[in-house]
A and B are shown apart, each in its own frame.
Chain A
Amino acid sequence: MALKALDIFKLLPKTNCKKCGCPTCLAFAMKLAQKQTSLDQCPDVSEVSKVELAGAAAPPIRLVTIGAGPGKLEIGNETVLFRHEESFYHTPGIGVMVSDALDGEALKARIEAIRKLKFVRVGLSMQVNVVAVVNASGQAAPFAKAVQAAGTLDLPMVLMSSQAAHLNTVLAACADKKPLIHAATDATVDAFIALAKTHNCPLAVTAPDLDKLAPLVEKARAAGIQDIVLDVTCPRVPDTLQALTAIRRLALKKNMRVLGYPCLVANSTVDPLLNVAECGMFVAKYAGIVLTELDQPEQLLPLLTIGQNLYTDPRKPIQVEAKLNAIGAVTPDSPLMITTNFSLTYYTVAGEVEASRVPAYIGVLDTEGTSVLTAFASDKLTSEKIAAFLNSDEVKSKVSHRKVIIPGYIAVMSGSLKEDSGWTVLVGPREASGISKFLKTTWTNT
């Protein structure tokens, strides 16, 4: 939360010595509040004030990094409770828990199943982006073995054990990969703080409720631990969801520093259908990391998609490049369809063309990321624009016929487009779901 000029002023030396280039300390405070200068311009500010000001300027929810290198996971630093107020920024980590109680072959199978959880949909690739190793055996050796096996996935890791000693052993080998140490409890907090400090890794903290959680976090903060994750998993799902909402609210609206960290939920519900429903709600409502026991693609794909969808910036429609796209093994005789550059529209059309197995061209027009109807209503998809595209070199060099398929929603444009372009205009279906039938029947018959 931004500090007001007066709050900053109170922390300055109040000598009006002008060394910062401002006539008075108050003037400097006002500039600082507007982020037009930086605190180090004042040589006389006390260390205590520096710490306080730096803390106050920090985001209300800390950005925490798990893992190292290009695949690292950044969570937190969210600024709103509802995405329409601005946007959600850091898509949650979604990962699978691996128990060290699995024996050799089962462990291998589990790791290989996780390795396959990579998807491409609507042109974007996404994957399970964190893996957790659970010290279910309670022993040191199996834990180390499982951590090593999970390490081959090259994903950010969560190391889950109640035994500081077991964690200490594995961290000696992998601390440079910055795994999340999970989790300090009331009984183990001192040992876990020591672990996080020694290995310089982020630390998860957990307690049965928020009142018990806050003092533990305070303790870790006081010990100098900065990268903290709050595990808010409760035995009952509604309690977990309430904790997630309460933490987000308190951090953002009450500036409660002690809860200003991303949250983690580990879901062990056995029924896979129920597990997916629950994880979906955690992703929708503020969790920074959601861990599940499930490892099948059809179970993880919807969860990753919820994150992908809700963390898109509502202020910017996602656009694809405006150009002529070929789907399948096209020839100069392949059909040419027109659509807009709103990604959802394009990928829906492209998906249907793909499914129809009729090779086709899709001409994408720049409509500033609006759908067909909106683009048409706001003059961003006009007959002149389509005509110019049809007669461009790009199209001429690839398409030998002169028959264009336009979306059913702009059927009224047929006449003017024919006039403007000289092309024969075929009116396609209104909804993308009709494309396959259209290409197989109407198009074939022309």
Chain B
Amino acid sequence: MSILDDAKEKWTGTINEVTIGATKQDGGTRTSVVTVGGAGALPFMNFEGPTPRAPVVAMEIWDREPDDWAQPLVDAFGPVLKSPADWARKCVEEFGAEMLCLKLAGTHPDFGDATPAQAAEVVKAVLKAVGVPLIVWGCDHDEKDNEVLPRCSQAAAGERCLLGAVKEDNYKTLVASCLADGHTILGLSPIDINIAKQINILVSEMGLPLNRIVMYPTTGALGYGIEYAHSIQERGRLAALSGDKIMSLPVLCMVGSEAWRTKEAKASQQENPAWGDEKTRGIYWEIGTASTLLQAGSDILVMRHPAAVSAIRKTISELMVK
């Protein structure tokens, strides 16, 4: 017997598998789907149990041109930032994205205030432009999201998108849409396991089964609270593997938006000469954030810079080799 066998932990739980995207066969138009979850051991600890499904990187795109993105991000995408469909196509065709996360930032009342109908048109355009599954994310303004997201849900009916995010005190409208249109849902809980459980219970009580829910325990960037995110993800994963069914759901983290908000990603070289090259610093910051969270148990990582996306996808495939 090898020493490694001695180190094995006996886990009793398994993470639910959640599939995002529906092909023609399943009533959608996606040309590929993504299934996450299924883990029966700590991430990539193959000696004690399976990590059957590789974590997936979803590339973040917006419904409008971002006005405060750092230059390296703007340079990486170029003019397609003006058109969500072109942006989506570039992510898939050029950067090989397996999934996209469409953020409806432009629907926020203070940031364009796009109408529900306009948002739904963007969703349709993106679905038409690419065949990969789609995450559709509101603008984090509860009232506006409740107007916008049901329209987007309808526009994408049958596509089995991941819609979000619902919160403990704002979930009914969106869950109803998800049920009607055959989507999956993202539940947001701010670094709190009890709230995460509560949301999972509330959503499943409305009739959406646990294999159609993904958890978002909120993400802190490297240097700005990543230790809280890391620990809450570890605690959640340990609870799930120890048999807590309500916590046995895949986890999503927002790596790109958090990492690229930081001073370390944005500051110019002039401002901070000791911090090094401003063209790549943000990419490394995004990679550092992703790799830390990958080890805590992340199933979907939403990321921004193509170079960071590529490095993390390579890392994941390296880790998945048995």
Residues of A within 8 A of B (CB): 82-84, 116, 118-122, 209-211, 214, 236-238, 241-242, 245-247, 249-250, 254, 256, 259, 271, 273-274, 276-278, 280-281, 283-285, 296-299, 301-303, 305-306, 308-310, 312, 314, 344, 348, 351, 355, 433
Q: Is B290 an interface residue (CB 8 A)?
A: yes
**Which of A297, A309, A348 is close to B275, meaning CB atoms less than 8 Å apart?**
A297
| Interchain CB contact under 8 A, B284 and A273 | yes
Given A120-B274, A297-B277, 11 further pairs, Cβ under 8 A: A119-B275, A237-B318, A242-B45, A259-B3, A280-B292, A281-B294, A281-B295, A301-B264, A302-B264, A302-B285, A344-B224
CB distance from A127 to the nearest CB of B (A): 10
Please report whether the interface of chain B is mostly helix, strand, loop or mixed according to DSSP. helix
CB-based nearest A residue for B226 = A309
CB-based nearest A residue for B314 = A274
Complex CA–CA separation, A5 to B283 (angstroms): 55
Complex CA–CA separation, A254 to B315 (angstroms): 31
Complex CA–CA separation, A280 to B271 (angstroms): 26
Known contacts being A280-B288, A302-B287, A310-B227, is A273 close to B308, with CB within 8 Å? Answer: yes
Chain B interface bracket (under 10, 10 to 19, 20 to 34, 35 or more): 35 or more
In the complex, which residues of chain B have a beta carbon less than 8 angstroms from the beta carbon of A298?
A: 275-277, 280-281, 284
| Interchain CB contact under 8 A, B321 and A348 | no
**Which of A214, A274, A314 is close to B3, meaning CB atoms less than 8 Å apart?**
A214
Complex CA–CA separation, A214 to B3 (angstroms): 9
Q: Is B69 an interface residue (CB 8 A)?
A: no
In the complex, which residues of chain A have a beta carbon less than 8 angstroms from the beta carbon of B46?
A: 238, 242
| Interchain CB contact under 8 A, B6 and A299 | no
CB distance from B7 to the nearest CB of A (A): 4
In the complex, which residues of chain B have a beta carbon less than 8 angstroms from the beta carbon of A306?
A: 222, 226, 288, 291-292
Known contacts being A254-B6, A273-B284, is A312 close to B45, with CB within 8 Å? Answer: no
Identify 13 residue pairs between A and B in the complex whose beta-carbon atoms are under 8 Å apart, listed by A's number: A83-B227, A211-B2, A245-B42, A246-B4, A246-B7, A250-B3, A259-B3, A271-B314, A274-B315, A284-B295, A302-B264, A309-B226, A309-B227
**Which of A121, A242, A283 is close to B47, meaning CB atoms less than 8 Å apart?**
A242
CB-based nearest B residue for A299 = B284
In the complex, which residues of chain B have a beta carbon less than 8 angstroms from the beta carbon of A241?
A: 44-45, 295, 319
Q: Is B225 an interface residue (CB 8 A)?
A: yes
Q: Please encode chain B, from 290 to 320, with 1 for each CB lying within 8 Å of some chain A CB and 0 for all others.
A: 1110111000000000011011101100111
In the complex, which residues of chain A have a beta carbon less than 8 angstroms from the beta carbon of B312?
A: 277
| Interchain CB contact under 8 A, A280 and B319 | no
Q: Is B27 an interface residue (CB 8 A)?
A: no
CB-based nearest A residue for B282 = A298
| Interchain CB contact under 8 A, A238 and B321 | yes
Q: Is B267 an interface residue (CB 8 A)?
A: yes
Within 8 A of A (CB), among B31-64: 42, 44-47
In the complex, which residues of chain A have a beta carbon less than 8 angstroms from the beta carbon of B225?
A: 344
Q: Is B65 an interface residue (CB 8 A)?
A: no
CB-based nearest A residue for B271 = A355
Known contacts being A271-B311, A273-B308, A274-B314, is A281 close to B291, with CB within 8 Å? Answer: yes
In the complex, which residues of chain A have a beta carbon less than 8 angstroms from the beta carbon of B320?
A: 238
Known contacts being A121-B223, A297-B274, is A273 close to B287, with CB within 8 Å? Answer: yes
Q: Is B143 an interface residue (CB 8 A)?
A: no
CB distance from A414 to the nearest CB of B (A): 20
| Interchain CB contact under 8 A, A280 and B234 | no
Q: Is B238 an interface residue (CB 8 A)?
A: yes
Complex CA–CA separation, A91 to B133 (angstroms): 40
| Interchain CB contact under 8 A, A348 and B276 | no
| Interchain CB contact under 8 A, A310 and B287 | no
Complex CA–CA separation, A238 to B295 (angstroms): 11
